């Protein structure tokens, strides 16, 4: 029997491939294509899109964009002039481009295939006002099972390290430009030291807690290229007020 894994959807003639689905994003009617067998976006990407501060008319680069969730959410939430999405995995680039097309955002979002480590050869120096990144959290050795799997690449520092992210951001940000990151608290000391070493001064930090009485499991950080030393630590962000029930702030971030 002929493989029926390709399905035409919507009047934009976007194709779904095997194991792919379309998810609603609760913002501007936007949707995203994801592959349940590869890697689906998590809360960290959504929280980063809510944490990032982007002024009207600014240009944005999302490094390691995956399937394009952060650029699509930022386009819905901000008045950025243009958003560029950089991703190294071909399958993810393909899904991101189809999601951009699905939402009619080709004039607002470009998806570029490339390596974060070589980003300064793909874009002019000091060409972005804002850079966002949801980088791999785990160092290469931590629980790594299949180094070729998309999930492993997204979660482990296989293809790039945190230093690679900050080094490239420092080259591509304008003076005074902002870098917004989401990461894990257990690496917080390393994150701050690395950002400072490359002249991206940490300016704002917020810890994310699953419950008010639990340890934080995410950290949101804003850095400024060429900024002066002074960091604001914001109030904690609590995800759940009861099992399965988000806090009001989380509902607001998601747009429910």
State the Cα–Cα distance between residues 171 and 96, nearest whole angstrom: 25
- The pLDDT > 90 percentage for the chain reads 77
- Domain span holding position 81: 40-254
What is the pairing mode between strands 31-35 and 20-24?
antiparallel
Whether 214 is in a domain gets the answer yes
Q: How many Cα atoms occupy the beta-carbon half-sphere of 48 within 13 Å? A: 28
Whether 192 is in a domain gets the answer yes
Whether 213 is in a domain gets the answer yes
Q: How many Cα atoms occupy the beta-carbon half-sphere of 175 within 13 Å? A: 2
Whether pTM exceeds 0.95 = no
How confident is residue 160, by pLDDT bands cut at 50, 70 and 90? confident
Whether 18 is in a domain gets the answer no
Condensed to tens digits (0 to 9), the pLDDT of residues 20-50 reads 999 999 889 999 999 988 878 899 999 999 9
**Domain tally, the chain:** 1
The CATH number of the domain holding residue 144 is 3.40.50.150
Condensed to tens digits (0 to 9), the pLDDT of residues 212-241 reads 999 999 999 999 999 999 999 999 999 999
208 in Cβ contact with 215 (< 8 Å): no
Whether 22 is in a domain gets the answer no
């Amino acid at each position: 029997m002929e493989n029926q894994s390709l399905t035409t959807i919507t009047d934009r003639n976007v194709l779904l491939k095997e194991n792919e689905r379309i998810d609603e994003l609760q913002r501007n009617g936007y949707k995203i294509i994801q592959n349940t067998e590869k890697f689906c976006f998590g809360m960290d990407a959504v929280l980063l899109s809510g944490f990032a501060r982007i002024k009207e008319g600014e240009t944005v680069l999302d490094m390691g964009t995956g399937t394009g969730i952060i650029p699509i959410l930022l386009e819905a939430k901000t008045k950025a002039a243009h958003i560029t999405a950089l991703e190294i995995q071909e399958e993810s680039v393909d899904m991101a481009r189809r999601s951009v097309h699905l939402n009619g955002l080709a004039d607002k979002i470009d998806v570029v295939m490339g390596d974060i480590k070589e980003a300064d050869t793909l874009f002019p120096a000091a060409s972005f006002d804002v850079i966002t990144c949801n980088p791999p959290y785990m160092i290469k050795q931590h629980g790594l099972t299949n180094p070729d799997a998309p999930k492993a690449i997204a979660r482990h520092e296989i293809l790039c390290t945190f230093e690679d992210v900050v080094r490239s951001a420092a080259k591509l940000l304008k003076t005074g430009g902002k870098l917004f990151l989401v990461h894990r608290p257990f690496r917080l000391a390393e994150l701050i030291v690395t950002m400072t070493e490359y002249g991206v001064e940490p300016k704002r930090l917020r810890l994310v807690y699953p419950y008010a009485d639990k340890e934080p499991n995410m950290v949101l950080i804003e850095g400024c290229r060429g900024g002066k030393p002074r960091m604001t630590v914001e109030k904690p962000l609590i995800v759940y007020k009861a099992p399965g029930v988000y806090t009001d702030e989380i509902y607001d971030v998601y747009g429910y």
